[in-house]
Amino acid sequence: MPLQNNISLKKFNSFGIESIARDFCVFNSIDELIEIIDQYRDLIISSHLILGGGSNILLTQALLDTLVLKNEIKGIQLKREDANYFYIEAAAGENWHHFVVTCIKNGWAGVENLSLIPGTVGAAPIQNIGAYGVEVKDIIESVEAYHIADQTIHRFTNADCAFDYRDSIFKKNQKNQFVITNVLFRLSKYPIYKTNYGAIETELTKMGIKELSIQSISEAVIKIRSSKLPDPQIIGNAGSFFKNPSISKAHFEQLIKKYPSINGYPNKDGSIKIAAGWLIEKVGWKGYREGDAGCHSLQALVLINYGAASGSEILALSDKIILSILQEFDIQLEREVNIL
């Protein structure tokens, strides 16, 4: 785990953006992490980036003047079980979809709707990832993280994590204070199938599924995602670039008079969540390309790098989209992707 200098991050971010890390180091265990922090404490306190799968970042600097720590801690194990649940601990460096596949093979239910989401286990609670009616907060029991300043391991309960829509305490007041090392999931012995979100039911029908299982739901989700979302291994992207915005009910009622096809989903607080992809497509950005930066032709919520786009060019495109949505709908879009 020696410190490396001037390392290209192109293969470490799903956008495929070329950016050079001033300092770079990989850790494969908590002991290695502790050793790195002890040895390079001044560098880490000055500036650092914990890198998982690199699937939710946009690098906008040609030279990233910081210490990048690549989390490669691996391991998935059944810690305990009770009458209703399995408690599964997964290390932060595990690939998320590999974790989902492992759960399905073992009959651990609850993650099947989150199939094929890029990234690592450690990033899941930070972002509170979600898809097809499920958020990871619904299945997280606790999060283990190493506090850089105190040099101690903390365990955060689900409530401690302050989960919100694509948000958590690790993106708020504890940002850059902790390195997530393990996540404990509470997965069901008795599946509750969630098929009424998106096109899952339609896909299951096309597949000819007569009896539901976590395997069949996972397969349906994979088919849906593969049909409309670009593979980062083929074309650079970070999945959904923007969050779905929420607006007041009064605002929604005004918009629906002008745009009868707009869809809104009620939140618990009475606000209405709007599909950001619909807004972007309505304004005409779907399929747009400017140089090597573009908006995907099948899913307007996804910004893509056709090959040689810089992070700054993709960021500039996102700025134009945000401004156009604000002007047309009086709605302020918020980026889901972290800008560095």
DSSP 75-100: -EEEEEE-SSEEEEEEETTSBHHHHH
Q: Are 27 and 72 in contact (CB under 8 A)?
A: yes
d(CA 333, CA 280): 10
For the chain, give the number of residues. 340
Model pTM score: 0.90
For residue 115, CA distances in Å to 88, 184, 187, 209, 214 come to 17, 18, 15, 18, 10
Residue 210 confidence (pLDDT): 87
Domains of the chain, start order: 4-71 (3.30.43.10), 76-188 (3.30.465.10), 236-339 (3.90.78.10)
Tell me: the pLDDT tens digits for 159-209?
999 999 999 999 988 988 999 999 999 999 999 999 988 789 999 999 999
d(CA 333, CA 335): 7
User: Residue 226: how many CB atoms within 10 A of its CB?
Assistant: 11
End-to-end CA distance of the chain: 24
d(CA 186, CA 305): 37
Tell me: the pLDDT tens digits for 288-314?
999 999 999 999 999 999 999 999 999
For residue 255, CA distances in Å to 251, 268, 274, 278 come to 6, 20, 11, 13
pLDDT over threshold 90, residue 42? no
Q: How many CA atoms lie within 13 A of 209 on its CB side?
A: 19
Residue positions annotated with a catalytic role? 166, 240, 336
φ, ψ for residue 81, nearest 5 deg: -150, 160
Position 47 confidence tier, pLDDT thresholds 50, 70, 90: confident
